Amino acid sequence: MVKTDNIFHTEKLAIGYKKGRATNILMDNINLSVKRGQMICLLGANGVGKSTLIRTLARLQPTLEGNVILLGKNILDYKHKELAQNISLVLTDPIQGGNLNVLELVQMGRYPHTSWSGQLSSIDDEKVNIAIQQCEIDYIRNSNIFEISDGQLQKALIARALAQDGDLMLLDEPTVHLDANNRFTIMELLKKLVEETGKSVIISTHQVEMALELADELWLASCGDPIVSGKPKELIEKKLIAKMFPYLSKLS
């Protein structure tokens, strides 16, 4: 697939936190774009601001400066429901809703598309079922979400985001706490979904080796410098990966 169709970009974006009169700018002058069907991995050290960036891109917290543009429109100009129809999120926040089973959790992804009654249509049911199949969690669809493993829950959250059916998926450390097999399975699943559905995903992760292997593009975030973006191969050739992750050269 030729990936040229920009669906999302930032313009001179600055992110961080305001406390009283003080402003803690974590990153500024961020000018990045996302093409349709692109898998982007956001890499950087602890505390550099990856989660803050993901949350700002999703409008969960305000920008300090600049704009975030989705499908040609500033995200500030979207109504809440309309934004949720276009951006699907997988965050690290704890799940609310103790009595939900996996099916009900995935169905929640369809709420931005339902009428005021919240009633799911046959199209909603079909999208939920497809998401459940794609994430290979049919066998636990009736299990309570507190009875399943972290890896299974993470797959269910990805299924919910898929059912939500936004053009853009933002995932903050979707493989945190998972064992090596599940980390690989989930990253591979995301890659497959991008290729099969043409959706775009931005994933913040500490899985450098897997990001190098699977991402179409990397965003490298480091304290005090602008984010550097590029194909993994280009960034390796420019020695930027070796500079940011010197431990890699010590692995055989």
Residues lying near ligand ATP in the complex (CB under 6 A) = 17, 26, 44, 46-52
* 128 or 178: CB nearest ligand ATP: 178
List, in order, residues 6 or more apart from 104 with CB less than 8 Å away: none
* 43 or 140: CB nearest ligand ATP: 43
Tally of CB atoms within 10 A around 249: 8
CA 199 vs. chain centroid, Å, equals 11
* 49 or 166: CB nearest ligand ATP: 49
* 50 or 191: CB nearest ligand ATP: 50
H-helix segments, the chain: 50-57, 80-86, 102-108, 122-134, 150-164, 180-197, 208-214, 232-237, 240-244
List, in order, residues 6 or more apart from 232 with CB less than 8 Å away: 211, 212, 213, 215, 217, 218, 241
